[in-house]
Amino acid sequence: MVLSENQTNALKTSILCRDTEIDLLNAFVSENAEVSAPAIVVHGYKSNGKTFIVNRFLETLGVKKTVIKCDECITRKILLQRCLRGIASDTGIPNAIQSINDTGRLKQGSLGESLYSFLTTLDSFFKENNYKDRHVLVLDRFDQCIESTDEIYGGFIRLQEQTKIRNLSIIFITSSDDPKEIITTSVPHIYFRSYEEHEVIQILQMNRLCSFGDPEFDDNPASEEFWMRYAKMIVDLYFVYTGSDMNLLINICFKLWDRFVEKVIDRTYDLTEFVRVYRHNSSLLEDENIINNSRVKTVGDFEVDKSAGSAGVDDLPVHSKYVLIASYLASFNSQKDDMHNFSKIKAVKYKKRATTSAKRSHLTKGDIDSRLLSPNYFDLERLLAILSVIYRTNATSLNTMDTEEILNFHDDPAIREEKKEIERTKFTLSRNTDLYSQIATLFSLGLISKSASSDILGARVRWRCNVSWTKIQSIAKDLQFPIIDYLQKE
Amino acid sequence: MTRRSGKRSGKNSAVSDEEDFDSPSVSADEESATAANKNQYFSANGDNDNDQKSHYFITPNRKRKAETSQDEFPSIVDSLLGNSNCKKTKTKPNHRTPFLALFNGKESDQHVQKRYQIYKEVWQSQLQKIESELNNTNQELFTNLSEFVFRYAPVEKSHIHQLPVGFVQLSSNSANNLRIMEKFNIHLNETPEIKNTKVININSKNCYNIKAALREIIKQFIEERSSIADITTEEQSGDEEEDLEEEGGEGDDENDIEENNANSDGEDDQGEENQGIEFQGRVNYDFDIVGDWWTANAKLSKLTQAVIILQDANSVSNHVLNQLVRLLHAYSAEIPLRLILGLSSENTSTWINNNLNNESRTLIDGYKFKSNDNVDLGFVLLDKLFLCNNNPSILLDPKLTTIMLNRFYNSNNSIDALIAEIKLIYMIYFYQQPLSILLTEEIPDDAVYIEALRKLPSFKRHIEMKVYEKEDSEVRKLLTDDNPIKNLFKTTRTEFKLYQLTILNVITVVNELQRIIPDTSFRKKTFDLYNLVTSNKLVNSVFLNEIFKGINKFLSRGDIEKLIIELDRQTTEIYEDAQDEQLAELKASLLKSKNAADLSSSLNSVLQNYFKNNLLHNSIDNMLFHEIFTMNGGTITQTPPPLFEENYENLMINLVRPNLRSTLEQGLDDCTAYLHNPLVRDNDSTKKPMHPTLTQLFKVYKEAPVNINIYDFYVAFKQSLDREQVKTIIKASDKYDLDKEEHWEKLTYAWFIQNCFELMTVGLLKEKPKGDYLEKAIWKGV
C-alpha cells in the first residue's frame, strides 16, 4: 500500500519545494514489498533535504526502518556490523541482537567480516526468526564512509537476488555519482535538485530558528516579521557563497543572530525598525570570518579572536630561524647557481654574468621569479652547506667587533680580528647534535617537509621548505638577514 | 624498559659513574626523545611508543652493580694510570655514596659522605625552587582550561549541536609543550571535579590513522577509572621521585616492579572482561563501544563529561584530524565530549583555516587559550636559582653562563633541557671538586686539603703576584705554614660573600636604570647582566655608556624617586657578615641628589662613584680560590682558545649536546684518540702499530671524487695498505699465504666490503641506484 493522496499532500505542505521527489519516493517505496523496488538511490547536492525527506516519508508510511549513518563508520566491517545490529534491534524481536551475534559468530567466526558473511548472517537471522515484516534499510551518506564502499555497493543492490529475503529493501543516500564499476541502471534513482534562491528563502522563513530569549519580543507578532526579513537578508547576502547548502545558511543565521539583535534587545531600536538595525550592523555582515568559520573565542571574555595573521614562528631559537631561511634558499634557488649565490669567489660571478647576457628568444624557467614557482627538493647536505655560509657571514654573534661591546679595548684589535676571521671560516653549526634535533622539530612543526614515504634517517631522503615568502621575509627581517641578496636574480 | 632513572651512554667517561647517583631527571637534549619519553606518561601502555625514540633508558640491576662496578671501575682506572699498588682503593669504601674518594683515593669516607650530602642539600633546595616556579607558571591557563572542561556551556543560543574544542596555543618547542600538557593533567587530577570527568590523552603517535586514534581513545575510555587514577598519580610521584634523591636505593626498584606488575595484570583482566561484556563482537575501533559504555556507566560513576586531549595537533595529519573531529562530533550528542588540541605557536585562526575543512569548522565551537612564553620562563628560573643569596653561595662561571645562554637563545629553548643542564652542573662540581666541602665546613685537619688549596691555579697566581710585589716572607709563610693559608681562606670566603652581594646589587641597580630609558629593544635581561658583571665586561661597556647617555636624555624627578623606592625594596645591604658599603653610599647620595638642581649630572656623578667599586673591576676568574666558589661545568681544554662565544665548550655542554659529526670525522681521521694512544699502548713494543682498515678506507675516501667507482675505490684501498706490515701481524696464525695475489685480494676485498658498509651505516656513503658507483653522502667542511 502506498501513501494515500491525503497523506502525500500533508507531507508536501510540511516539506516545501520537494513535491516531485515525494511522489517518486511514493512510487518506488511502499508497504508491500512485492511492488516496491528492492533498492533505490537517492542522490543530490549536500544538505538539501534528502535524509530529512526520506525519514519523514518512511515515518508517514509506517514501516520498520533502520538508518545507518555511513559517514560515522570507519571501515566496511563496522558498517556491516551496524547494519546487522540495527536491523536486528529494529525488528522488535526480543533478544534479537544477542541472537544475531550468536548467528554471526557461529557461522563466520565474527560479525560482518565480509559481505558474504553479512548476507548469510542476515539470511539465517530472518529465517530463524521467521521475520516477515516490511523493513527498509536506509544507508545515509553511503559514499562518505571513511573506507571506500564501492565494493559492497553491488552486493547491497543484489541483496534480494543473493538471499531469500524479500521483505527488506534498501535506500542509498549519496551526494556523488554512482561508482563506475557497478551497474545501477536497473535501480531507480531519485535526484534531489538544488534549491533555487527563492525556495531557500521560503524554507528558512518557514522555520523560525532563532529567538530573542525574551517573551516580550518573542510573543510580539512583529518578531515573526523580523525573522522573515532576517532570513531573507541572510540568503540575499550569502547565497552566492553557500548555494543551496542549507547547513551553511542555518549556521550563518545562528552565528550572526546574537550580535545582530543586540541593539533590539537593549531597546535602542524597535522591533519593527529592521532597516535601521541592518544599517547599524552593516560592518558585522561584511566580516570575512563569517564565511570561513575559523573564528575562535578567547577564553575569559568570550570575545571573538581578532588576532591578525602573524608569522607564528617568532619564538623559534635563532639557529632554527637560520635553518628555515637556508631551507628556503635551497628550495627556491637552483643548485647550479649555488656557486654564484653563495661563493666568495668572484670569477664565478663574472662567468655567470657573461653567460646570461646572451639573448634568448623565449621565456625559460630562469626568467620567472623563483618565489613564484613551487619549492624544489634539496639534499640535507646542501642545506647544511648553505646554512654554514649564511650563518658565517650574517650571524650577529660572529660578526660583532669587540669594540662594539667594550670601550677601551686594550689588545690589538687588528690581530684579534684576523684570528677571528680564521675561526669564522671554520665555524659550522652542524658540529653538534642540537642542529639535527632542530631540523626534526621544524619537520614536526610542518615548516619543512620531506619527500614522501622516505625514511627520515635514510640516505635518499630529500627535503623541501614549506614556508611562504611572507613568513620567511618576516623571519629574515627579525634576524636582519638580507635574504633578497641571496635569491636568484634576473 | 622502565622510566626510572637511567643514563645515556656517552663516550665521555668523566662522569660515567654517574649512573649510580641520580642522573639528570630529564635528559631533554633531544626533543623527540623527550617526546617519546613523555608519551609513556600519558598512554602508559602504548604499543608503538618505542618506535620513534632516539635513545633509550636502561636501568641497571642495582644489586649486581653494587657488587661489580665498585670493584671494577677503580681497578680499570688504576690499570690505566699504571698504578700497581691499588690496595687502598680495593678496600671496600664505607661511605655508601656514588661518589669516589678523590685525592687519588686519599679522601676519607667521612668527607666523601659530607660532599655527597652537601650536593644533595644544595640541589634539593634548588629543585624546590624550580618545582614551585614551574607549578606557578601556567596556573591561569590551567584554570581557564579546566573551567572550559568542567563548565562548558555554548555561548550562542543555537540548537545546532557543536563539539566544544579548546585550542591551546603553546610554544614552538615540542618538549615544552608536552611538559605543559603534562602539568595540565596533574592540575586536572587535583581538581575535585576530576571524579566526574574522564580524561583521555592521545598524541600524534597514536594518530597515524583514524583507526589507531579511536582504538587508543576507546582503550583509555573503558579502562577503569581507578587504574587510570593510579597510573597518573604513580607517574606523578614517579616523576618527582626521579628528581628527588633516592634514600633507600635498593628497595625502591622492587616496589616499582611490583606495582607495575600489579597494574598491568589489572589491566589485562580488565581488557578480557571488556572483551566479553562490552565489545559484543565489535571491533576495537568501533566508537559505539564508548557510546554503550557511557550509557551503562556514566550514571553509575556520576560522570558528567569526558575530555580528550590531543597533545600535538600540529604533527597529526589533517586528514585524520578532520575525521576525528567529525566522529567525535557525531558522538558528542550522547556523550558530553570536549576536545583539547595543543598547537604550536601558530596563529590559531590561520591554523584552523589551513587544517580543518569547512565542514569540520562548522561542527566545532572553538575557544582559544594561550600559554606563557617559555623564553621568559627560562630567565625567571635562572634568576630565581642563581641571582639571590643562596646558602652556601656558589656562583656561576661567566663562561658557563655564556654557554648556557647561547644554547638557550640559539638552539634549544626547552625548559627541561635547561633544568637538566643546571643539574648536571651541580653534579659535575660536587663529583670532581674535593674542596667543595669547604663551602660549609672549616678546613679539615687533613694535610691533603692544605696541599690541594696550594695547588689551585688561582692560589699559584696569587703567590706569583706576591713574589712580584716582593713580599717574600709572606710567600714563605703561605707555602710552608698551615695557619696563614687557613686564615687567607677564611678572609677570601668573606670576600666572596661580599662579592656576591655586590654584584647582585649592581645587577639590580643597572636593571632599574635601564627602565628609565623608554627604548625597550636596548634592554638586557638580568641574567645577561650577571654575565657582563662577572666577566668584567660591564663597567667599560658600550651598554653602560648608553645607559648614561639615556639617563641624561630621559631622566625625570619621578624616576629618581622610583629608583630609590625600588632599590630599597630589592637590594640587601647586609647579608650575614658581608656588608655592601658602596650601596649604602649610593642610596644616601641618591636621597641627597633628589633635590639637586641638575638632576642628571648629579645622578651621573653619583653613579660614576658607585661603579668605581674595586670588586666590579675584576673578572670572577681572577679572584683567589674562585675554583671553590664558582661552578664552571667542567673544563675542556680547547686549542687554540676560541674567540667566538658560540665555540665555547665545557664538559657539561659536551655531555648534553655531543659534537657528533666532528667527533666522528676526527675519530676516523685519526684513531689515536681511541686506539694505540700512549695510555693504552704497550710501552715495550717498538713495533709501529697498524691502524684499523676503516681509517685507511676513510683516507682514500677523503681523496675520492663525489661519485666513486667501486672498483677504483677498492684498488685504491688495496694499494694504500701496507702489505708487509699486514703480513707480520697475520702470518703467525694463518693458513693463508699472503704472498699469493689471490689470497691477498680476498682478504683486502673482505675488509673493503665490510668497511664500505660501515661507512654507509654511519652515513658517509650511499649507494647509487645504478650500481657500480658509490656517492659521498656528506660534504666537506659543512
Asked if pLDDT for residue A461 goes beyond 60, the answer is yes
The closest of A63, A299, A122, A33 to B149, measured between CA atoms, is A299
Amino acid at B456: L
Best-predicted range by mean pLDDT among B226-240, B595-609, B655-669? Answer: B655-669
**Is there a contact between A295 and B364 (Cβ–Cβ < 8 Å)?**
no
Higher pLDDT, A145 or A405: A145
Residue count (chain B): 782
Q: How much is the pLDDT for B279? A: 60
Task: Give B-chain residues touching A320 at CB under 8 angstroms.
Answer: 172, 411
Residues of B in contact with A381 (CB under 8 A): 777-779, 782
Tell me the mean pLDDT in the region B761-766: 85
CA distance B751 to A452: 35
Q: Average pLDDT of chain B?
A: 77
Q: Which residue of A has its CA nearest to B330?
A: A72
Contacts of B374-379 with CB under 8 Å at 24 or more apart are B374/A315, B374/B171, B374/B173, B374/B176, B374/B413, B374/B414, B374/B415, B375/A315, B375/B408, B375/B413, B377/B133, B377/B134, B377/B137, B377/B415, B378/B408, B378/B413, B378/B415, B378/B418, B379/B525, B379/B526, B379/B527
Q: Which residue of A has its CA nearest to B373?
A: A315
Write the CA distances from B43 to B59, B221, B270, integer angstroms: 21, 12, 16
- Hey, which residues does B707 pair with through a beta bridge? B775
A388:B358 CB<8 A: no
Interface test with A, best of B150, B275, B282 (most A CBs within 10 A): B282
How many angstroms separate the CA atoms of B221 and B294, rounded? 9
d(CA B2, CA B545): 55
Cβ contacts (< 8 Å) between A310 and chain B: which residues? Answer: 347
Cβ B327–A210 below 8 Å, yes or no? Answer: no
Which residue among B350, B353, B658 places its CB closest to the CB of A432?
Answer: B658
CB contact under 8 Å between B330 and A69, yes or no, is yes
Kindly tell me if the per-residue pLDDT of B715 is higher than 70: yes
Is the pLDDT at B231 greater than 70? The verdict is no
Q: Which CATH class is domain A5-192?
A: alpha beta
CB contact under 8 A, B31 and A441: yes
Q: How far from chain centre, in Å, is Cα A116?
A: 34
Instruction: Decide if A105 and B645 are in contact by the 8 Å CB cutoff.
Output: no
Provide, as residue numbers in chain A, all residues whose Cβ is less than 8 Å from the Cβ of B210: 74, 146
Of B288, B358, B411, the CB nearest to A438: B411
Q: Inspect the interface and report whether the beta carbons of B366 and A297 lie closer than 8 Å.
A: yes
| pLDDT number for residue B755 | 93
For residue A280, is pLDDT > 90?
no
Chain A residues whose CB is inside 8 A of the B412 CB are: 317, 434, 437-438
Overall average pLDDT of the B215-219 stretch: 90
- Look at residue A360 in the predicted model and tell me its pLDDT: 58
**A contact test, residue of B326, B646, B773 with most A CBs within 10 A:** B646
Q: Give me the pLDDT at residue B523, please.
A: 84
C-alpha cell at A131: 521475520
The model's pLDDT over B448-489, given as tens digits with 9 standing for 90+, comes to: 888 889 989 999 999 999 999 888 888 888 888 888 888 999
Q: Is the pLDDT of residue B145 over 60?
A: yes
Is the pLDDT at B88 greater than 60, yes or no? no
Judged against a pLDDT cut of 90, whether residue A312 lies above it is answered with no
Q: Cα distance from A343 to chain B (closest Cα, Å)?
A: 14
Q: Mapping DSSP to helix (H, G, I), strand (E, B) and coil, where does residue B370 land?
A: strand
Chain A residues touching B361 at Cβ < 8 A: 292-294
* R_g over Cα of chain B: 32
Q: Which of A388, A427, A441 sits opposite B644 (nearest CB)?
A: A427
Q: What's the pLDDT at B93?
A: 62
Between A and B, how many residue pairs show a Cβ–Cβ distance under 8 A? 242
Is B660 within 8 Å of A432 when comparing Cβ atoms? yes
Query: Residues of B with CB below 8 A from A292's CB?
Result: 353, 358, 361
For B487-540, write each residue's pLDDT tens digit: 999 899 888 888 888 888 899 989 988 888 887 777 888 888 998 888 888 888
Residues of chain B with C-beta less than 8 angstroms from the C-beta of A210? 157-158
Query: Which residue from B367, B375, B542 is facing A407, i.e. has the nearest CB?
Result: B542
**Alpha-carbon distance A430 to nearest alpha carbon in chain B (angstroms):** 7
Which residues make up the CATH 3.40.50.300 domain(s) of chain A?
5-192
Instruction: Please check whether residue B626 is in contact with residue B620, taking contact to mean a CB–CB distance below 8 angstroms.
Output: yes
What value of ipTM does the predicted structure carry? 0.86
Which pLDDT does position B340 carry in this prediction? 92
CB contact under 8 A, B644 and A428: no
DSSP summary character for residue B650: B
Q: Is the pLDDT of residue B251 over 80?
A: no
pLDDT of residue B11: 37
pLDDT at B253 over 50: no
Looking at CA atoms only, how far is residue A443 from chain B in angstroms? 9
Chain-centroid distance, C-alpha A282: 29
Cβ pair A440:B643 closer than 8 A: no
* Mean pLDDT within B91-99: 72
Q: Check B375 against A305: CB less than 8 A apart.
A: no
Rounded mean pLDDT, A457-481: 86
Q: Are the beta carbons of B546 and B522 closer than 8 angstroms?
A: yes
Pick the CATH number of B139-242+256-371 from 3.40.50.300, 3.40.120.10, 3.40.50.450, 3.30.450.20: 3.40.50.300
CA distances from A393 to A345, A482, B199, B712 (A): 14, 11, 51, 39
CB A157 within 8 A of CB A187: yes
Cα separation, A267 vs A277, in Å, equals 11
The residue in chain B having the minimum alpha-carbon distance to the alpha carbon of residue A70 is B327
Put simply, the answer to whether B361 touches A294 (Cβ < 8 Å) is yes
Compute the distance between CA of residue A119 and CA of residue A84 in angstroms, rounded to an integer.
9
**Residue B31: closest CA among B54, B1, B10:** B54
Q: What are all long-range contacts of B550-553, with beta carbons under 8 Å and residues at least 24 apart? A: B550/B514, B550/B516, B550/B517, B550/B519, B550/B522, B551/B513, B551/B516, B551/B517, B551/B600, B551/B603, B551/B604, B551/B607, B552/B600, B552/B601, B552/B604, B553/B517
Which residue from B157, B282, B347 is facing A81, i.e. has the nearest CB?
B282
Q: Which of A313, A423, A430 sits opposite B782 (nearest CB)?
A: A430
- Say yes or no for a CB contact (<8 Å) between A309 and B350: yes
Q: Distance, in angstroms, between B362 CA and closest chain A CA?
A: 6
Of the pLDDT bands very low, low, confident and very high (cuts 50, 70, 90), residue B26 is very low
Beta carbons within 10 angstroms of residue A475's beta carbon? 22
- Residue B426 — very low, low, confident or very high, per pLDDT cuts 50/70/90? very high
The pTM assigned to this predicted structure is: 0.77
Identify the pLDDT of residue B157.
54
Q: Which residue has the higher pLDDT, B273 or B701?
A: B701
pLDDT single digits (tens) A79-126: 888 898 888 888 888 877 777 777 766 655 567 778 888 888 888 888
Collect all residues of chain B within an 8 Å Cβ-Cβ radius of residue A446: 314-315
Closest CA in chain A for residue B286: A78
Mean pLDDT of B433-454: 86
Residue A8 in grid coordinates: 502525500
Catalogue the long-range contacts made by B234-239 (C-beta closer than 8 Å, 24 or more residues apart): B234/B259, B234/B263, B235/B3, B235/B41, B235/B44, B236/B186, B236/B189, B238/B3, B238/B4, B239/B41
Residue of A204, A306, A402, A406 to mutate, interface with B, max B Cβ within 10 Å: A406
Q: Do A315 and B410 touch (CB under 8 A)?
A: no
From chain B, the residues in CB contact with A407 under 8 A are 540-542, 545
Largest CA distance in chain A: 108
pLDDT score of A123? 87
Contacts of B97 (CB under 8 A, 6+ apart): B21, B112, B113, B116
- Work out the average pLDDT over B410-430: 90
Cβ separation B540–A437 shorter than 8 A: no
Instruction: Provide the b/e sequence for B60-83 (b: ≥16 CB within 10 Å).
Output: eebeeeeeeebeebbeebbeeeeb
Query: A339 vs chain B: nearest CA distance in angstroms?
Result: 14
> Is residue A349 pLDDT above 70, yes or no?
no
Nearest chain A residue to B161 by CA: give it: A251
Question: Where do the structural domains in chain B lie, given as residue ranges?
Answer: 13-133+405-430, 139-242+256-371, 457-624, 663-776
> According to the model, what pLDDT value does residue A330 have?
93
pLDDT over threshold 50, residue B109: yes
Contacts of B30 in chain A (CB under 8 A): 433, 437
SS3 A295: coil
Contacts of B171 in chain A (CB under 8 A): 315
Cβ separation A307–B348 shorter than 8 A:
yes
Nearest to B777 among A423, A430, A459 (CB): A459
Nearest Cα residue in chain A from B350 = A309
Stretch A172-182: mean pLDDT, rounded? 82
Closest CA–CA distance from residue B418 to any residue of chain A (Å)? 13
Closest partner CB to B647 (pick from A101, A427, A433): A427
**CA within 13 Å, CB half, B771:** 0
